[in-house]
Chains A and B, each alone.
Chain A
Amino acid sequence: MKILLCISNVPDTTTKIRFKDDNKEFDASGVQWIINPWDELALTRALELKEGSGGKIEKISVALVGDKSTEPTIRKALAIGADDAFRIDSEPKDSYYVANQLKELAKDFDIVMCGIESADYTSSAVGGMLSEMLEWPSVSSVSSLEIEGDEVKIRREIDGGQEVVSAELPFVAIVQKGIALEPRIPAMRGIMMARKKPLNVVEPIQADVLTAYESFELPPPKADVKLVDEENVKELVELLKNEAKAI
């Protein structure tokens, strides 16, 4: 059995978002790039599954659509424990384009895992689009995944509760928080080994781009907080009732 992790290269979650060129483009100066947090948790879970599979899961691969500047992020995924990697050498133009790039590669795998969203353009779309292009089932908002024999047992969050779902292979798991407790941190040995693991660069295929960013905006600045004395809690409640009309 083989598992493919689709990962994104995103700004660190503490990044203060800024734009440049008249708000036409994201300002990447000084930004630290990381593996998208949900993808990192998914990778951690995939490695746990492989380690507990007694050799049944033979390979964990990662795939990323991006230019050469994303390679440190890919190397980090290899250092965490993925066996090999594929970089599709193109800008990730939009979700539809990215899913098309991943499609050919994904066909050779039994389980494809994607994070529920990427921390940059946050469309929550690539995993779902990819599964439809492959005509595979998808299970989304997955918060736990176990393999028992040939059956995959999944716990997923729905609007208003949780479900236990079983899925046939092959399928796409779109994962969220809970899938693994903590992302794995690469050890020195992993970092050394990652240098020797294959990072295959793949030429992009011709694919349509359906959307384009025209411009960006930051939310309007917030007015100063109104502070109420801790001895005068009643005043806060009155402000909430009469001024904010929130209670």
Chain B
Amino acid sequence: MSVLAYTENWDGKFKKLSYELVSYAKAIAENLNTETVVASIGAVEEEELKKLGNYGADKVVAAKDEKLKNLANQPYAKTLAQIAEKENATVLVFAHNFTGKAVAPRVSVKLKAGLAAGVTEPPSSYDPFIIKRKVFTNKAFANVKINSDKKILTLFQNSFEIKETENKASIEEFTPELTDADFRTEVKEVNKVTGKILLTDAEIVVSGGRGMKGPEKWENLEKLAEVLGAATACSRPVSDEGWRPHEEHVGQTGKIVAPNLYIALGISGAIQHLGGVSSSKTIVAINTDKDAPIFESADYGIVGDVHKVLPQLIEAIKEVKAEG
């Protein structure tokens, strides 16, 4: 028996999200009194694979097939199902990100394992298996019971604390059994975002709404993001107007984010927007309208014009940063 976590890699490296997944899988494995196994697909150096041990992995199973270089839903799911069977995994853990959403449902069918998507904590009960997950696009939680013998969970980002352990992980190479019929999609072009903090990774997100008054007025917002080491985001009207690319849209139909700090500039806070950001640990709102709904969800706020407040905010943060 085992608990199996799958983490993707980014150009051969793992990141915080990977360690969060492994820590989470470890917490479940401890409760079930079993091993924590991590599956990795693609070219990752042994040194990097070993790092997963520091967060609780007992074993890392690495599939390095050259054909699996880019994410392809079908062969990835097949590979992971084969690893799960070999390791006799009863609980499988994925990230609730694009990759997890692409692969976990397919693995669920292969193993006939019930899926609970967007979980935020370990199960509240193991027998029966009951776990809390997000529903209604982040506006509520459900306690869902999984009835099948095998279970699949996708973990919502930033919901579980990373724990370092003294574990040493053994590394095992794995050759999946795949055929040409598994490769019926082909990646023609990859455009990675470089030199920018990814919205879904960011500890701090600085986000602009219609109150920014126009696409040419984003300079100070970007400066604030730079000073804070933050990612930039926007509300739906801003992306619909084409002021900012739609990849930046956070909210119910865009991205759901859960950073430590979310700064909403000129965003009124429509219910759909709040759905996408309400899991943030701290929310700051700056808006001219004191009755804007964003202030009901914010922890801190300033009623005022963003363009007057922003330069002062940037300077004040620079000062605090300089003090250390």
Residues of A within 8 A of B (CB): 11, 13-14, 16-17, 19, 37-38, 94-96, 99, 116-117, 119-129, 131-133, 136-141, 143, 153, 157-168, 171, 174, 177-178, 182, 208-219, 222-223, 225-230, 233-234, 236-241, 244, 246-247
Contact = CB atoms under 8 A, between A and B. Distances in A.
A237 B188 CA distance: 46
Nearest to A169: B184
10 contacts: A120-B135, A121-B135, A121-B142, A136-B184, A166-B185, A211-B144, A213-B145, A234-B316, A240-B300, A244-B261
A70 B108 CA distance: 28
A173 B299 CA distance: 40
B211 interface: no
Given A125-B104, A157-B247, 16 more contacts: A13-B271, A119-B136, A120-B135, A121-B136, A122-B118, A124-B101, A137-B74, A141-B101, A210-B148, A211-B144, A214-B144, A219-B139, A229-B302, A230-B305, A236-B300, A239-B300
Given A140-B98, A216-B140, A128 B105 contact: yes
Contacts of A208: 112
B108 A222 contact: no
Nearest to B304: A230
B320 A213 contact: no
Nearest to B255: A177
Contact of A120 (B136, B296, B313, B316): B136
A200 to B, nearest CB: 26
B178 interface: no
B252 interface: yes
A24 B104 CA distance: 27
Interface residues of B, number: 96
A14 B271 contact: yes
7 closest cross-chain pairs (CB), A and B:
A128-B105, A230-B304, A210-B114, A164-B189, A132-B109, A161-B192, A246-B261
Contacts of B101: 116-117, 124-125, 128, 140-141, 174
